[in-house]
Amino acid sequence: MPRAKINAIELYYETHGEGPAIVLAHGGGGSHLSWWQQVPILSRGYRCVTFDHRGFGASREAQDGPGAASFVEDLRALLDHLRIEQAALVGQSMGGWTVLGFAAAYPQRTRALVLCDTTAGMDDADVLAEQKLIAGRAAGGLIPKALAPDFIEREPALHFLYSEINALNDLPPKLLGGLFGLRFSPDPLVRHRIPTLLVWGDQDLLIPPSTMDLMKRRVPHARLALVHGAGHSVYFEKASEFNSILIDFLKTHAA
């Protein structure tokens, strides 16, 4: 099992394929397994990197470790370990904090940025106001709110798999305690003209699609993609459409 010894932990990762590097950062209900519908497609033309954030999946958090505060530097250290100087970054929900934080800190190493159903800790008053409402919207269980309302009935097998992937996580109680306190400026995206794509499900119950418009105000050159019939987990619920949107964007902006 490939592990990178970085920042006082062993971070689990996988690489598949050859070509320009693309990193997929999973959300709070997932792990590297979440991208099972993307990796076989992307790895045909890209060096596809997936990993488990510290405390998720096969990556363990150090005792009294920094938790989410180390996500950005964990990614930087992983890319150093893999000798990847520059990569396109894709982050869903929680993973958005990781990739936006990385792009803000290391714009020269970011070929392109894709944010999926995430406020990503963007340092903007309106976006942060939406972010404050997430916890209340998640009341009653995160998994039901992370999918379109009809997903369970429409795709029972996929819903079962989604829940099973989530069940593999055994998170330390304080791991995500500081996530919502992290702030990342989008200004480097604009200053360095980093190609940026925002992908949203039109039925996202946790972060409304209107958040895309708020984020675009700060990143005017960003492209928007709204996927109909999907909730908070477009990559999982509407994989074929998500993959087409992503590959089209990468071919244009991150080849």
Full set of structural domains in the chain with CATH: 3-253 (3.40.50.1820)
Measure the CA–CA gap between 195 and 54, rounded to whole angstroms. Answer: 27
- Parts of the chain with a pLDDT under 50: none
Which pLDDT belongs to residue 198?
98
168 CB contacts (<8 Å, ≥6 apart)? Answer: 31, 33, 57
CA distances from 125 to 76, 119, 151, 211 (A): 27, 11, 32, 12
Measure the CA–CA gap between 6 and 51, rounded to whole angstroms. Answer: 13
Which pLDDT belongs to residue 132?
86
Which pLDDT belongs to residue 255?
60
Measure the CA–CA gap between 154 and 141, rounded to whole angstroms. Answer: 20
Residues above pLDDT 70, as percent of the chain: 97
138-164 pLDDT, tens per residue? 666 667 789 999 999 999 999 999 999
110-121 pLDDT, tens per residue? 999 999 999 999
In the numeric block, which tokens belong to residue 157?
A: 């097998």
> In which residue are the tokens 């009341």 written?
139
- Widest CA span of the chain, in angstroms? 45
Which pLDDT belongs to residue 190?
97
